[in-house]
Structure formats: structure tokens, C-alpha cells
Structure 1
Amino acid sequence: MRGVFVDANEALAVIFERLTKPGDPKVRVHRDPDVTADRLPSVLDGADIAIVDHTALPTEIARKCAGLKHVVFLGTGARSYMNPEELAELGIAVHLIRGYGDTAVAESTIALMWAAARGIAQMDREMRAGNWLREDGMQLTGKTLGLIGFGGIAAEVARIALGGGMRVLAWNRSPKSHAGVEFVTSDKLLAESDVVSLHLLLNDETRGYLSRERIAAMKSGVILVNTARGALVDEAAMIDALKSGH
């Protein structure tokens, strides 16, 4: 089989070439991180395998990629770049890297939570303007964190939050269990959480999941962190809740 790394920047290209071992499938590294989708058929040139870092692969373009059987996606949120089910109908399998970025995104989630709880961005702006804010902020130790969706990233968020002395609730569309985490209904999670963090995949079922009604069901002064996809939230309702202080 023959493959092409279609959108490697120089740093990724050097790492990929260094890690290549004898016996690996032959892969040509295409050093151009700005490949557009319409160029993929010519870049792949009949290859069986496409290694993709961030380039979109629309189904109509995939139809033109003769010989393509496998897509290895290096990032997170593959559905934002391609439709795995439609590609499967074309005989193309999409392969993801399990656990890729879980800890990094979880740490970002925790950082955003703490920054919001302590008003760090606002304090920074005011300090640069010569003002000293006297704000108590929210002490998160002992508070309740609600995780909506519970995959690898949420599990890492739970690990860090539990270590920080928080109570962790979670709701997932399919039954799950995890040490130290209490799985509850979405209604209970929204009503009891001081911080709500989103970790759902974006699809037709989850688009707009955090609706105006669900936002209204959350505690007054709740912190919302979304390191998943923006379209999970009703944006207009979120803006209204921010303006009202809810």
C-alpha cells in the first residue's frame, strides 16, 4: 500500500520521517500545510492511504480520489473535517488516534475553569489600565463540576478536578462508570453544577444541545466551559445569559 501525508508542516514532516521504520507502508510526505480540499485528488495521485492533519475531506472530493481506502486523521473532531459514514459508503475507512490530545484539552478545560472562577482575564485588563479589582471570585474546592459527555477528555478533566477537591457529576448518552464520578440525569447535573463543561461530539442530535431552556435550568452564576464545538450551544441564549449575569 502507498500513502501520502497530505498537509505536513515542516516540523511534522521531520518528526514523521524520523519515526519511519523499515517495513512501514511507503508514505510520501507532502510539505504543504495549506492544501485545499480541491487539490487532494492530485496530491494523493492514486494513493491508498491519506494521512491528514487538518485538511477537510468533503465526500464529493473523496469520490475523485481514485484508489483511496484509508484516511488517518491526526487531530480531534474528525467530523468537522469529513463525514466518516459517507466515506465508509465509498469504501474509505477513517482511522482516529485513540486518546490523541485528551490530556492537553483537559488541561485547557481546567485552565479556563480556573481563569473564569478567578476573573483572571478581567483582572489582567484592569491591571494594565491601572485599576486594582477587589473581587473574591469563586473558590472551586468543594464545588460541583458537571461534565456533559464523558469520553477520554472528560475522564481526564474528572481526574484533575477530583484531585483539586471538586465533586464531579457526569451525564453521558450511553451508560458509563468511572471512579469518583457520579453519573446523573442531565436535569440533576444542570441544577447542581457550579461549573458545566461540554464534551459532546457535534452531530445532528447534539447540535444546540445546551438550549435556552437548559441554560435557564443551570445555577445562577454558573461557569460554562466549552472545549468541544461551539454549535453545541444556542449562541443567542448564551449571550443573553451572559448579559443578565445568569
Structure 2
Amino acid sequence: MKAVFIDASESLGDVTERLRLNDDMPISVNRNPDITPDEIPAVVGDADVIWVDHTSLPTDIASQCPNLRHVVFMGTGARSYMDPEELAEVGIQVHIIKGYGDTAVAECAFGLMWDAAKSFTRMDRGVRAGGWPRTDGVELTGKTLGLIGFGGIGAEMARLGRGVGMRVIAWNRSPKTSEGVEFLPLDQVLAQSHVVSIHLLLNDETRGMIDAACFEKMRDGVLFVNTARGAVVDEEAMIQALESGKIAHAGLDVYETEPLPAEHPLTRLENVTLSAHSAFRTPEASDKLVQAALAHTRRVSR
């Protein structure tokens, strides 16, 4: 058996080559993060296992890889790039990796929350342009942080929020308990929170879940953070809420279309902080990610 990492960045390629053991199956690292779906069969060749970081894998393309039986998706959001059920029907199993970036993503969400509260990036843009846009900030100590979804990342965000003196409330699709966190119905979390932070996986139930009705239930002037998946949020409804001031400021790491198209409406709004789906990009998280991918690969090779 052999494996191919089809779309490795330079950093993930280096980590893979550093952590792979001599007795692991051969793993070819294709250092082309911009590979297109049509190029995949030639890169995969007769490999049995592929690692996919962020490239779309249509089922008809995967079916052109004769020996392919396992896809290791480098994260949890495989459904944004492939259809696991369709792939299973043609004999290809999709494996996802959880937990590797919980702290990294939570710290990103925490940073975006603080930027939304203090308008650092807005002032930075103004000062660089020769202006002096002094902006009133918001004190977060004592405010309510509402978490929509409470997996590993949500739990880490709760820890950080509690650490700076915020009240933390949360809603999760299945019952959860956590010290210092009050679990409430979704409508109450939306209504009571000064900051709403999204921590949901993307699936058929959550796609478009944060819609216009949800924004209407939020406080006027709410701060909104999304480091989960762009498609969980109705982007048009979010933009309308930003334009009206319902959302005072949003911190976003994810979007419906990535990369974010040039001249996208979000790029023209001053009350948005944009990052490039990079919340999980830390050396610590990368090591955990590759170690988990190697563990999947070793397991399926037995």
C-alpha cells in the first residue's frame, strides 16, 4: 500500500516528512496546494490512501483512481470538499481528524472577538492611510459570551472567556455540561449574548442555520464571530445585519466561497475583520494534525 498527500502546503509537507517513520507505508507529498480536481487522478496514480487538506474531491474524480480506498481529510469539514456517503458507495472511506486544532481555533476566535470589541484593524487601516480614526471600544469583562455549538473548540473558547471574566452561555444540539457554562435554548443564547461565536460542524442540519431570524433575535450591536464554516451562516442575512448595525462588528475566518472573491461585499464593510481560514494554522496544531493522519494511515494499512 502507498499514500499520497495530494495538496500539501510547504509547512505541512515539511511536517509530514519530519514525522513519518521509516516503517510507515510510503507517502508521496505533492507540494501543490493549488491542485485542481482534474489533476488529482494523475497525482494519485495507484495509491490506496490519499490525504486531502482543502481540495475538492468530486466522486467521479475519485472513481478514476483505481486503487483508492481511503481518504484522510485533514480536519473535520470534509463535507465542504466531498460527499462522504457517495464516496462510500464506490468503496472509498473518508476519515476525518478531530481535536488537533481546538486550542488554535479557539484562540483565533478569541482574538477576533477582541478585535471586534476594540476595532484594532479598523483603526490600523485608517492610521496607515494617514488618518486618525479613534474608535470607542467595548469592555468584555462582565459581558456575556454565547457559544453556538460546544465541542472541543467551544469548550476551549469557554475556558478563555471565563478566564477574562465573561459570563459564558451555550447551546448545543445534544445535551452537554461544563463547569461555569450555562446551557440554554438557542433563542435565549442569541438574545442574551453580547458576543455570539459559532462552533458548529457543517452538515445538512446546520447548513444556513444562522439565518435572518437568528440575527433578528440577537442584541442590537452584537459582536459576531465565525471560525467554524461559512456555510453555517446565511451570508446575505449576515451582511444585511452588518449594514444595518444590528451586528456592530464581525470577526470572520470562514466564508461561503473560499478564497473570498475580489470585490465581495464583505470586503467593502468597515465593521468586519477578515482572516483567511487560518485559525488552525499553528505549528502545534500542524504536528497534531499530521500525527493523526499518520495514525489513520497506519490503521488502514494493517
How many Å separate the matches in 2 of 1:185 and 1:79? Answer: 27
Q: How many residues align?
A: 246
Aligned residue in 2 for 1:112: 112
**Per-residue deviation, 1:28:** 2.3
How many Å separate the matches in 2 of 1:135 and 1:36? Answer: 43
**Per-residue deviation, 1:232:** 2.1
Coordinate RMSD, CA, aligned: 1.8
Q: What whole-Å deviation, never above 9, does each CA across 1:124-161 have from its counterpart, x for those lacking one?
A: 23333454445432110111111111122111111111
Aligned residue in 2 for 1:95: 95
Q: Which consecutive unaligned segments of at least 5 residues does structure 1 have? A: none
**Per-residue deviation, 1:102:** 1.8
The alpha-carbon distance between structure 1 residues 28 and 125, as it changes in their structure 2 partners (threshold 3 A), is closer
**Per-residue deviation, 1:194:** 0.3
8 Å CA contact retained: 1:76, 1:101: no
Q: What whole-Å deviation, never above 9, does each CA across 1:30-52 have from its counterpart, x for those lacking one?
A: 33333221222222222111122
3-state SS, counterpart of residue 127 of structure 1: helix
Q: What whole-Å deviation, never above 9, does each CA across 1:10-66 have from its counterpart, x for those lacking one?
A: 443333222221321222223333322122222222211112222221111112221
Structure ID, larger Rg? 1
Aligned residue in 2 for 1:239: 239
Q: What whole-Å deviation, never above 9, does each CA across 1:76-122 have from its counterpart, x for those lacking one?
A: 52211112222222222222222122222111111111111112122
Aligned residue in 1 for 2:160: 160
**When the two structures are superposed, what TM-score results if normalisation uses the length of structure 1?**
0.92
Q: 2:97 is aligned with what amino acid?
A: I
Aligned residue in 1 for 2:58: 58
8 Å CA contact retained: 2:147, 2:154: yes
**What is the 5 A alignment of 1:167-246?**
167-246=167-246
3-state SS, counterpart of residue 38 of structure 2: helix
Structure 2 residue 80 is the aligned partner of structure 1 residue 80: yes
3-state SS, counterpart of residue 27 of structure 2: strand
Q: 2:58 is aligned with what amino acid?
A: P
How many Å separate the matches in 1 of 2:239 and 2:10? Answer: 40
The alpha-carbon distance between structure 1 residues 113 and 14, as it changes in their structure 2 partners (threshold 3 A), is closer
